[in-house]
Homo-oligomer: A and B are copies of this chain.
Amino acid sequence: MSDATVDRGRIPRITVKDLARQLGMSVSTVSRAFYDDAVIAPETREKVLRRAVEIGYQPNPLARGLITKSSRIVGLVVSDITNPFYPEVMVRLTEQFQAEDFNVMLVVASPTRNEEEAVRVLLSYHPDLVVMLATTLSSAASASCRKVGTPVVFFNRVGSDENSYAVTCDNVLGGRLIADHLIDRGHRRLGFVAGRPDASTNVDRWHGFQARCAERGVAPPASTGGVAFSYEAGFAGALDLLNREEKPTALFCANDILAIGAMDAARRGLGLSIPADLSVIGFDDIGMASWSSHALTTVRQPIARMIDRTTALALALARGNAVQPAVERLPGELIDRNTTRFIDGQ
């Protein structure tokens, strides 16, 4: 019974040695049983595997990683999680990785522990891959990953450097879709409530929106905000825009949470009715957007496909397959609910 140094009351774990001793085999043989492509007699493998489940042995992936240089850990770095869009993404990504026998190490970047620091400690665990699920552009973090050869893929955000992987919704296209939707309905005085200015989602949506307005000969939209993707920011942004000389008749908010805040400001703060007095449109199509109290017209991110693409890409990268750095932009879809309307005149 090995040298069971009782570590702080912790029970000594079962190891290959235990299994080997019990079966009268060498540790090498036992070890091989856990690899499908190892040369080992089928009956031997079966014996090992059967006994393993009996005594509850599982190879220690940490020790294994020391040898194989593969930890089967994927690091997930997250920062702004206030958007309900992200928890779902986190969970679904994690599920997918788990299904492929990768485990997720969660790291949160915050004011106290910034992204660079967070990535530094993450890297000490030697993840096979890191995926970034955050809203700000940071090249430093991805640079330190690259320095140690760890591939990184950005989810719903494009890295600031050329050679990184990213999968996002086509935010520029989304912005254009929204411009068309509003302009087609007769709106000419448009407003934009921005989220964080350093988020690629924010800038791309704005660019698309703006560009399409210009193409269709509509006056440049008024814009405000740029503090956060939050209810409060949406509330404040709408108030700002709607108190200006030239009141917009329609607001594009950089995401759904902003839009919900904006609607509350319009309704409760200003006594407006939506969509009668004001059209509002969001982006993301979070669950809440479909609630009858909001019934928000928005652009739905193709979240299932985005997650599929991310895991596929991630897994390929983690396996060491060479794949061209690229950003994949998947088109979103405009979901027309009840917060925009046709206006006459103009």
Contacts and interface: CB of A to CB of B under 8 A. Distances in A.
Interface residues of A, number: 72
A108 B91 contact: yes
A211 B287 CA distance: 35
A149 to B, nearest CB: 4
Given A62-B62, A69-B10, A81-B88, A99 B113 contact: yes
Given A60-B124, A103-B121, A260-B291, A320 B69 contact: no
A63 interface: yes
**Chain A facing B: main interface SS:** mixed
Contact of A113 (B82, B95, B107, B268): B95
A84 interface: yes
Interface in A84-115: 84, 86-88, 90-91, 94-95, 98-99, 101, 103-108, 110, 112-113
Interface of A: 7-11, 13, 56, 58-63, 65-66, 69-71, 73, 76, 78, 81-82, 84, 86-88, 90-91, 94-95, 98-99, 101, 103-108, 110, 112-113, 118, 120-126, 147-150, 231, 235, 260-261, 263-264, 267-269, 287-288, 291-293, 319-320, 322
